[in-house]
């Protein structure tokens, strides 16, 4: 399956997980995991630690075996294919460069394994390094490179063999905030140029929302919701998603006929199947506004965040909520204010149910 043609893109690779189960010492890391990566799509697996996202990626790479279910690449079951035959490029969290080889030799490694002639090997490695902006660093060793540069080399090494799928295992989590954003945008640029199907594992929601075509939020070995970043943010299926993707307030309310009563205001519920009764409601801070009249509250704290301001207030019943607003409004601690809700649909969860209940997306 290794193309020798000089084509830069390998479109058309589709990856499909079907009912994949993986257990570690009795713990289910993947619990009937289903996910399809369309051709050339950039999918982010987002979730808290222990949710199974890294396991899903490692199972696809063949670094872990599966206990049940199938994984297909372009419709072909790869369960019995060893890692070295799966034709994947993988970037690890850190320390994955071979320390005794220079950056260039690291990039050449995969080509060497494919028995490509030295001259071509060197040319392609140099081109791959140029692609990540490190053409001048061919002879540097890993310890002579910064963390960001090491990950760029790792990316070049993963892509130089023109693999069918690119796997990114939290490649940015060991980097400084500024480098992280730079490299994240660059990964997206290169991925778009090459059109390579990509699976990106991260626990950082900003990262996932910024780069992915679709984001799959994982929880307890399964996908809780999958959708475009916009969908996830504006229509979170559950308060878990609302909490994990973006910030949100958790307030009590009562659901009635696909609407929820929150402090006297009726708001539409995202999931119309929500049963009537008391519920936890997740409301985005930007969906609460200051008003001339309405819900009375007292300002506790207000902080300046550059482009916006975040203010925390206490309601009459003692609960606190926070809201985001323009910097021109400048509440003072102790000030009495009134709030209203913007009316955007909210996600809810019945009070009786535990927060651990899984809901299909």
Let me know if 174 is exposed, middle or buried by CB neighbors in 10 A (0-12, 13-18, 19+): middle
CB 64 to another protein: min, Å? 6
**CA dist., res. 22 & res. 262, Å (int):** 41
**CA dist., res. 300 & res. 308, Å (int):** 17
Does residue 10 interact with another protein by CB under 8 A? Answer: no
The DSSP code for 2 is: -
Does residue 99 interact with another protein by CB under 8 A? Answer: yes
Site for another protein in 130-149 (CB under 8 A): 141-143
**Cα–Cα distances in Å, from 22 out to 6, 65, 110?**
38, 8, 28
Residues in the chain: 361
**Cα–Cα distances in Å, from 305 out to 53, 82, 203?**
32, 49, 23
Q: Which stretch binds another protein (CB under 8 A): 9-17, 89-97, 118-126, 295-303?
A: 89-97
Binding mask 145-184 for another protein (x = CB under 8 A): ---------x--xx--x-----x-----------------
By C-beta, is 68 or 113 nearer to another protein?
113
- Judged by CB under 8 A, the residue of 36, 92, 231, 299 near another protein is 92
**CA dist., res. 316 & res. 35, Å (int):** 45
- # chain residues binding another protein, by CB under 8 A: 40
Q: 339: which residues sit within 8 A by CB, 6+ positions away? A: 288, 289, 290, 291, 294, 295, 297, 313, 321, 323
**CA dist., res. 64 & res. 22, Å (int):** 9
CB 65 to another protein: min, Å? 5
- Judged by CB under 8 A, the residue of 114, 189, 256, 330 near another protein is 114
By C-beta, is 81 or 315 nearer to another protein?
81
Binding mask 52-81 for another protein (x = CB under 8 A): ---------xxxxx-------------xxx
Does residue 17 interact with another protein by CB under 8 A? Answer: no
Q: Please choose, from the candidates 19, 24, 52, 354, the residue with its C-alpha nearest in 3D space to the C-alpha of residue 219.
A: 52
By C-beta, is 100 or 117 nearer to another protein?
100
CB 291 to another protein: min, Å? 49
**Which residues of this chain interact with another protein, rule CB under 8 A?**
24, 61-65, 79-90, 92-96, 98-101, 109-110, 112-114, 141-143, 154, 157-158, 161, 167
């Amino acid at each position: 399956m290794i193309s020798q043609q000089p084509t830069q893109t390998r479109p058309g690779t589709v990856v499909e997980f079907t009912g994949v189960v993986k257990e570690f010492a009795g713990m289910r890391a993947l619990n009937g995991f289903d996910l399809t990566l369309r051709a050339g799509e950039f999918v982010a697996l987002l979730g808290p630690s222990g949710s199974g996202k890294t396991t899903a990626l490692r199972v696809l790479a063949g670094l872990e075996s599966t206990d049940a279910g199938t994984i297909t690449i372009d419709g072909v079951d790869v369960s019995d294919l060893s890692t070295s035959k799966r034709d994947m490029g993988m970037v690890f969290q850190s320390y994955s460069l071979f320390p005794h080889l220079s950056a260039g030799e690291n990039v050449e490694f995969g080509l060497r394994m494919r028995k490509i002639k030295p001259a071509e090997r060197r040319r392609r490695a140099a081109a791959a390094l140029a692609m990540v902006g490190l053409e001048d660093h061919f002879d540097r060793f890993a310890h002579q490179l910064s963390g960001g540069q090491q990950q760029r080399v790792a990316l070049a090494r993963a892509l130089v063999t023109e693999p069918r799928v690119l796997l990114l295992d939290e490649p940015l989590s060991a980097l400084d905030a500024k480098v992280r954003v730079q490299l994240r945008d660059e990964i997206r640029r290169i991925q778009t140029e090459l059109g390579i199907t990509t699976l990106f594992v991260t626990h950082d929601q900003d990262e996932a929302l910024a780069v992915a075509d679709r984001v799959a939020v994982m929880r307890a070995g399964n996908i809780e919701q999958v959708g475009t970043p916009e969908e996830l943010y504006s229509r979170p299926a559950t308060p878990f998603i609302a909490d994990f993707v973006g910030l949100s307030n958790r307030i009590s309310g009562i659901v009635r006929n696909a609407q929820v009563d929150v402090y006297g205001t009726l708001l539409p519920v995202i999931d119309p199947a929500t049963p009537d009764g008391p519920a936890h409601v997740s409301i985005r801070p930007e969906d609460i506004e200051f008003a001339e009249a309405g819900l009375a509250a007292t300002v506790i704290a207000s902080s300046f965040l550059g482009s916006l301001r975040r203010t925390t207030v206490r309601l009459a019943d003692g609960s606190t909520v926070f809201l985001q607003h323009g910097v021109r409004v400048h509440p003072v601690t102790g000030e009495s204010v009134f709030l209203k809700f913007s009316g955007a649909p909210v996600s809810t969860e019945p009070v009786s149910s535990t927060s651990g209940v899984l809901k299909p997306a």
